[in-house]
Structure 1
Amino acid sequence: MDFLSIIGFVLAMIALIGGSILKGSGVAALWGPAAFVIVIVGTLAAITMHTPMATFKRGMQMAKWVFKPPHADGPALIAKIVEWSNSARKQGLLALEGAVNSETDPFIRKGLQMLVDGAEPEVIRSTLEVSVSTREHFDLAGAKVWEGMGIYAPTLGIIGAVMGLMAVMQNLNDPSKLGHGISAAFVATIYGIASANLFFLPMASKLKAAVADQVRTQEMIIEGLISISNGENPRNIEVKLSGFLH
């Protein structure tokens, strides 16, 4: 669980609601159905026009990573690779067949199977790197869904404000409606700017960081499997892979 994201979300709500109360507007001033439709629904409309369906679905699936990012236990993974290295040095690469059958991670299982099948180190590296690159590209595209929403939301907020002011101009002959109308117009601006800078853009950055962390872990796995294939000393493998930890 990423407690920093939870803290950030809570602070964002405090900033909006607390700021509105301290300014004397009250919580009710932040609620605007028309602004919500224009900004939030409009932003969703823009991003669905912007992205292919598969990318949009991936972006929505990745949203949970903001609070619960995929995390690999680096030291435990290194220990596992060193154990495989010891087995391979003592009994040969075929001794890793049991590890292939018991491994749940498809990426690791694929690499181990190539080891057992006797693939050349460069073949293993190039094959696994293609998998890493493809997955990274797809996940980054998913993260950019939220980045795109952060770009569109402020503009939709301005559109909402302009539409609100148009409604105000139509009621200039009724001064009692002017104050409420102007206030409602600026709610759309708040929705657009606040959603972009407090939620959408920070989420995109957090998701990109999670993708980079996954890529780093997979690069460590590749390096470990290549080292096993080359018959390197297990102690040297452990030292080398420790450099990937941060």
Structure 2
Amino acid sequence: MTRLSRLQYGAALAAGGLAGFAAGYLFYRSVWIALLFSPLGFAAPGWLRKELALWRKRRIALQFKEALQSIASSLSAGRSVENAVASVSDELRTVFPDPRTEMRLEFERIRAGIRNGDNLEACLRAFSDRVRLEEIARFCDVLAIAKRSGGDMVAIVRRTAGAIGEKLEIEREISVMVAQKRFEARIMMAVPFVFMAVLSWAAPDYMAPLHRGTGYAVVTAALMMLAGCIYLIRKWTSFEV
């Protein structure tokens, strides 16, 4: 699970609390009622953690796709599985120049383990446990089965790398296609709040009846329906490929 730094946690908590207070004041025009909405900020760190975890998963999946292509190319050139895996970090330097790139660091660690005499399967299993990506776990399982069964490891690993690489490419294409819909959904979620703010500024007398008596009941009902719509929109647009 992705962990937030103290700065990230504090910023998310403050931003969430401020957003809750602003939403409450915008709809009720009461500081005391708006303060009741401020505790909604405690949900912000959890939301940020999920967003960062999803972003990290997509970033690592893209990097692993490049690593698989490197392994497949090395195997096609006649290298052994161990040498193909050990050379990945060098191949990734041209694609990801940043030395802090996750895949570069992970495959450098695997290469160091292989040079120290560690078993390739154990190195990859530790790699899978650290990264926790489904495709990596699947690749490690196939490699372990191939070694135990005594089959043609080069052919098996090459086919597996190609299949997983194609799956990751399809997932990337789907993510690109739904990105626009997610952006449109975020705009739709923001429109009611902008609409309320504009009306409150441009026509305060028109909005005044909503800020007293039965107007609070109407605003509460509208806010509950809006919260339900936001929940459904996020649920429909936040699926994982």
**TM interval, short-chain normalised:** 0.3 to 0.5
Please give the TM-score of this superposition, normalised by the length of structure 1. 0.34
Please give the TM-score of this superposition, normalised by the length of structure 2. 0.35
